[in-house]
Chain A
Amino acid sequence: MAAVVGSRQMRRLQAGLVYAALIALTAIFLFPLLWVLGLSLKTRLQVFADPPLFIWWPTFENYLDVLSRSDFLLAFVNTLVVSGGAVTLSLCVGVPAAYAFARFPFAGRSLLFFALLVMRMLPPIAVLVPMYVLFSKLGLATTRLSVVLAYATFALPLVVWIMRGFFEDLPKEIEESAWIDGAGRYRAFALIVLPLARPGMVAAAILCLQLAWNDFLFAAVLTNNATQTLPVKMMSFSAGDSGVDWGGLTASGMLVILPMIIFAFMAQRHLASGLSSGAVKG
C-alpha cells in the first residue's frame, strides 16, 4: 500500500505511529525470549529475587555448565546431522518431482499432487507408533536415519508445493531452446533450470530445516540416549534434581534456538517468497 497522500507533517506523524506500533509489537513478541535470556544469565539466588531483578551482573556459569555436559553437545551434533540429512533428502527427491509436476501434463498429475497435499495435512501423531514399529522391524528403531526419514515425509510435500510454484514462474523459453538444441531433459534440468530455481530452493530448505530442527514428538519416540536431538534433551531439563534447574533449562533453551534465530535473520526475505509462491499457484 502506497503511503497515504497528505502533507509532510501528516506523513511524519503517521510514520511515527507506525513505528510506535511496530516497536510495541516487536517488544511484545520478543519479550518472552529476552526474559528467558535474562534468567539464563542469573544465578539461582538471583532468579528467586522478589521483585524480579532487572539490573544485575550477568553470569555465564549456566552456559558453561550446559556446554560442558557432553550429552548436550552430542544432542547438538545429532540435531545438525538429522536436520541436514532431512533437508538434503527432501530437496534431492522433491525438486525434480516438483519440476515434473510444473512442466509436464502427465496422466494423473492433479490427482497425485492432491494426494501429496493431503498427506501433508494428516496429523503426524497418526503415524507415530506405526512408524516406530516399522523402523523397529527394519532394525532402525533408535538410529538417526529413522528420524531423517520421518522428517523427509513431512518435508517432501512442502518442498514439492513450494518448488512447483517457483518452476511455474520460470519462463519456459530457456528450457525449450535447450531442448531444441538437443540438450535433453536431464541436462536441461540440471544445468539450466536448477540454478534459476535457487531462491526457491533456499526458501524450501529453510522451511524444512525449521521443521526438522524443532520437532519434538518424533525425535522423542524414535531416538535413544545416543541419538537424541536437542528438543528432546531440553525436556529432560524441565524438572531437575533439587527443584527446577532454572539455569540449565534457560541456558540450554537459548542455545537450542540460537541457530534458528540466526537463520531467521539471514533468511527472512526468502521465507516470505517461499511461503507465498505456494499460495498463489496452489
Chain B
Amino acid sequence: MQKGENAMPMLNRRRLLLTVAAGGIMAAARAVPAQNKPDKLVYIGDNQGGWKRTLTEEVGPAFEKETGIKVEFTLMPPDAWQARMKAEFGSGSSGIDVAQWSVGMAGWISPHMLDHQEVLKTIEARDPSFEWSDFLTGAKLAATYDGKLSGIPYRTTTGILVYQKALLNKAGLAQAPGTFAEFEKAALALNAPPDRYAVGLMGKQGAALYSTFASWLYSAGGRLVDFKTGEIFINDDKGVTALQFIADLVVKDKVTPPEVTTWEFDEIIAGGQRDRYVMAQTFAPYMTLINDPTLSKTGGNWSADLVPGYTDKSQSRSWVDGHFLAVPKYAKNVDWSIEFIRMACSKKWQLRSMERGNAPPRGSALNDPTMAEKLGWPPTAARSIETGVPTPAHPVWTTLELTLRTGVSEALQGQKTAKEALDAVAADWQRTLRRAGIGRA
C-alpha cells in the first residue's frame, strides 16, 4: 500500500500484459473509445436522505434502456461508504465504476479520481447542451482539490431555515426570525408540547451533527481551524456562543422534541412530515420531502428562509456541502462511466431530480421559476450557497469532525456547558493536528 503504488488485482495485470504484448498501450486512466460493453456498472454511494431516487429509479433504468448496461447501486450508511471507498481505492481495486463522494472527502479521494477536466471534454464533445457554465461556481470549487477537478457536482446542499408559515403567523410573527434572539423568542412562543414542539434538529451523535451546528457557528462569525498553521478557533467566544445557543434550546428552553437526540438525516424529514416541530435548520432540499402532500401530514405548510444571523440578518451564513459523481482512475469501463455521469448530470435529469428531493448545482435549475414556485427553497438555497462556507476538504477533517460530534453531543445532553465541551474538542484537535503533522504542536 505504498503511495502511488497501483496494486492492481491479478486479473487486470494479466490483461494489461496481454494488451502490451499485442502492441497496444493502454493508459490506466484513459479508455479506448470502442470499449467492450460490460454487463453492469457499479455505483457506490450513501443511503441517506432519499435524493438518489431519481438516479436509482429513473436515470438507472433509462441508462439501461439506452445502453443495455445495468447500473448496480450500492448504497451504504455514511461510515461504511467512506470505509469501502478508502479500502478499495487504497488497494487500487477496479470494483467501482462510478464513485459518489462528498465535499469532506476531497482531500483523500482526489488523487484516486481521473482528472475531470478531461472527462468534461469527453462529455461536452458528446453533448454540447451539457453547459458546464450552468454549474454554480461554488460547486465547481468544491469539486476541485489541489487544482484538480475531481468530480462532476450532482448535489449542492446548504443549511436553511424551514418553517410552517401559518403557525408562525398565528403566533403573531409576520416573517421568519432573523436573529438568534428573535429565533429563541419565536421558539418559546411556538412550543406546544407534547404533540408539536417548536424546533427540530438532528441531534444524534453521528454524521449529521456537524451540519446541525455549523450554520449557527458561521452566522455567529465563528471558524473551525486553519489547516495550514494549525491554529484552532472552534472554542473562541463565537463558537461557544453558537453552541450554547442550540444547547439552550434543547436543555434549558426544552423547545425540541425529546427524541431529537436520536435524529439524523432521515429522522428529521420524518419528524417534519409528522408535524413534530414548527421550525428547523436543515438541508435545503429536505423541504421537498417534508412539504410533499403525498408523503407528509404537513404538506404545503412550509416556507424557506436564510438561517438567522447573530445580531442582524445580514450576518447569516451557512455551510455548503454536496455530492459529486466521479470516475475512479482504476475503473474498467471508463467510457460507460462517463456516459452515465453525463446522463445523470444533464440539465434535463437534474431538473427532474429536483422534484424528487435533490438540490442540483445548476443555476438554471435553482432559478427556474416553476420550481421556485413549486418547491419554495431553491432561491433561498441559491442565496445561501453564494455566501456559504464549504465543508473542509482536508483529509484530517474526518477525525476532527469525530471529536466535534462528541463535544456537540455532550452540550446537547446538558452534560457540559458549551465552553467546557468546545475546550475539550480544541484540546483533542491539538493532539490530532500534531499527530497529522500540521502546524505547531
Q: Please determine whether B91 and A236 come into contact, CB atoms closer than 8 angstroms.
A: no
Q: Give per-residue flags for A216-247: 1 if the beta carbon is below 8 A from chain B beta carbons, else 0.
A: 00001100110000000001101111111000
A136 at the interface (CB under 8 A from B): yes
A8 at the interface (CB under 8 A from B): no
Could you tell me the distance between the alpha carbons of A137 and B75 in the complex, rounded to whole angstroms?
Answer: 27
Residue of A nearest to B274 (CB): A48
Q: Please determine whether B95 and A242 come into contact, CB atoms closer than 8 angstroms.
A: no
Q: Please determine whether A241 and B53 come into contact, CB atoms closer than 8 angstroms.
A: yes
Q: Please determine whether B72 and A142 come into contact, CB atoms closer than 8 angstroms.
A: no
CB proximity to A under 8 Å, residues B41-84: 42, 47-48, 50, 52-53, 56, 72, 74-77, 80, 83-84
Residue of B nearest to A71 (CB): B72
Contact of A240 among B10, B83, B266, B289 (CB under 8 A): B266
A133 at the interface (CB under 8 A from B): yes
- Residues of chain A within 8 A of B80, CB atoms compared: 220, 235-236
A132 at the interface (CB under 8 A from B): yes
CB distance from B7 to the nearest CB of A (A): 7
Pair count A-B, CB < 8 A: 62
A139 at the interface (CB under 8 A from B): yes
Could you tell me the distance between the alpha carbons of A221 and B74 in the complex, rounded to whole angstroms?
Answer: 15
Contact of B47 among A139, A142, A220, A239 (CB under 8 A): A239
B88 at the interface (CB under 8 A from A): yes
Could you tell me the distance between the alpha carbons of A133 and B10 in the complex, rounded to whole angstroms?
Answer: 15
B93 at the interface (CB under 8 A from A): yes
A141 at the interface (CB under 8 A from B): yes
CB distance from B294 to the nearest CB of A (A): 11
- Residues of chain B within 8 A of A136, CB atoms compared: 1, 7, 91
CB proximity to B under 8 Å, residues A231-270: 235-236, 238-244
Could you tell me the distance between the alpha carbons of A141 and B265 in the complex, rounded to whole angstroms?
Answer: 32
Could you tell me the distance between the alpha carbons of A241 and B49 in the complex, rounded to whole angstroms?
Answer: 6
CB proximity to B under 8 Å, residues A58-75: 71
- Residues of chain A within 8 A of B9, CB atoms compared: 139, 141
Q: Please determine whether B289 and A242 come into contact, CB atoms closer than 8 angstroms.
A: yes
- Asked whether A242 and B47 contact (CB < 8 A) given A139-B9, A224-B88, A225-B42, the answer is no
Q: Please determine whether B10 and A139 come into contact, CB atoms closer than 8 angstroms.
A: yes
Q: Please determine whether B77 and A142 come into contact, CB atoms closer than 8 angstroms.
A: no
Could you tell me the distance between the alpha carbons of A86 and B370 in the complex, rounded to whole angstroms?
Answer: 59
CB distance from B43 to the nearest CB of A (A): 10
Most buried by A among B75, B88, B91, B295: B91
**What's the dominant secondary structure at chain B's contact region?**
mixed
Most buried by A among B83, B265, B266, B289: B266
Q: Please determine whether A235 and B266 come into contact, CB atoms closer than 8 angstroms.
A: no
Could you tell me the distance between the alpha carbons of A235 and B42 in the complex, rounded to whole angstroms?
Answer: 19
Q: Please determine whether A225 and B88 come into contact, CB atoms closer than 8 angstroms.
A: no
Q: Please determine whether A239 and B266 come into contact, CB atoms closer than 8 angstroms.
A: yes
CB distance from B101 to the nearest CB of A (A): 17
Q: Please determine whether A241 and B95 come into contact, CB atoms closer than 8 angstroms.
A: no
- Asked whether A242 and B295 contact (CB < 8 A) given A224-B95, A236-B77, the answer is yes
State the interface size on chain B (CB cutoff 8 A): 32
CB proximity to B under 8 Å, residues A179-232: 220-221, 224-225
Could you tell me the distance between the alpha carbons of A77 and B431 in the complex, rounded to whole angstroms?
Answer: 46
Contact of A142 among B48, B53, B93, B270 (CB under 8 A): B93
Residue of A nearest to B13 (CB): A139
Q: Please determine whether A141 and B93 come into contact, CB atoms closer than 8 angstroms.
A: yes
B269 at the interface (CB under 8 A from A): yes
Could you tell me the distance between the alpha carbons of A221 and B295 in the complex, rounded to whole angstroms?
Answer: 36
Q: Please determine whether B1 and A133 come into contact, CB atoms closer than 8 angstroms.
A: yes
Could you tell me the distance between the alpha carbons of A235 and B78 in the complex, rounded to whole angstroms?
Answer: 12
CB distance from A192 to the nearest CB of B (A): 44
- Residues of chain A within 8 A of B84, CB atoms compared: 224
- Asked whether A225 and B95 contact (CB < 8 A) given A241-B50, A241-B53, the answer is yes
Q: Give per-residue flags for A98-137: 1 if the beta carbon is below 8 A from chain B beta carbons, else 0.
A: 0000000000000000000000000000000000110011
- Residues of chain B within 8 A of A243, CB atoms compared: 50, 266, 269-270, 273
B26 at the interface (CB under 8 A from A): no
Q: Give per-residue flags for A1-25: 1 if the beta carbon is below 8 A from chain B beta carbons, else 0.
A: 0000000000000000000000000
Most buried by B among A221, A224, A244: A224
Contact of B7 among A137, A220, A238, A241 (CB under 8 A): A137
CB distance from A271 to the nearest CB of B (A): 33
CB distance from B147 to the nearest CB of A (A): 30
Q: Please determine whether B42 and A236 come into contact, CB atoms closer than 8 angstroms.
A: no
- Residues of chain A within 8 A of B1, CB atoms compared: 133, 136
Could you tell me the distance between the alpha carbons of A71 and B76 in the complex, rounded to whole angstroms?
Answer: 14
CB distance from B357 to the nearest CB of A (A): 8
Q: Please determine whether A235 and B77 come into contact, CB atoms closer than 8 angstroms.
A: yes
CB proximity to A under 8 Å, residues B250-275: 264-266, 269-270, 273
B167 at the interface (CB under 8 A from A): no
- Residues of chain B within 8 A of A139, CB atoms compared: 9-10
- Asked whether A132 and B7 contact (CB < 8 A) given A225-B95, A236-B77, the answer is no
Q: Please determine whether A242 and B50 come into contact, CB atoms closer than 8 angstroms.
A: yes
Q: Please determine whether B50 and A236 come into contact, CB atoms closer than 8 angstroms.
A: no
Q: Give per-residue flags for B1-43: 1 if the beta carbon is below 8 A from chain A beta carbons, else 0.
A: 1000001011000000000000000000000000000000010
What 10 pairs between A and B have smallest CB-CB spacing? A241-B50, A139-B10, A243-B270, A136-B91, A242-B50, A225-B74, A243-B266, A224-B95, A236-B76, A239-B266
Seed contacts A236-B80, A241-B47; 11 additional CB < 8 Å A-B pairs: A141-B9, A142-B95, A220-B80, A221-B83, A224-B95, A225-B95, A239-B47, A239-B48, A239-B266, A241-B52, A243-B270
Please list 14 pairs of residues, one from A and one from B, whose beta carbons are closer than 8 Å in the complex, sorted by A's number.
A71-B72, A136-B1, A139-B9, A220-B80, A225-B74, A235-B77, A236-B76, A238-B77, A239-B48, A239-B264, A240-B47, A241-B53, A242-B269, A244-B270
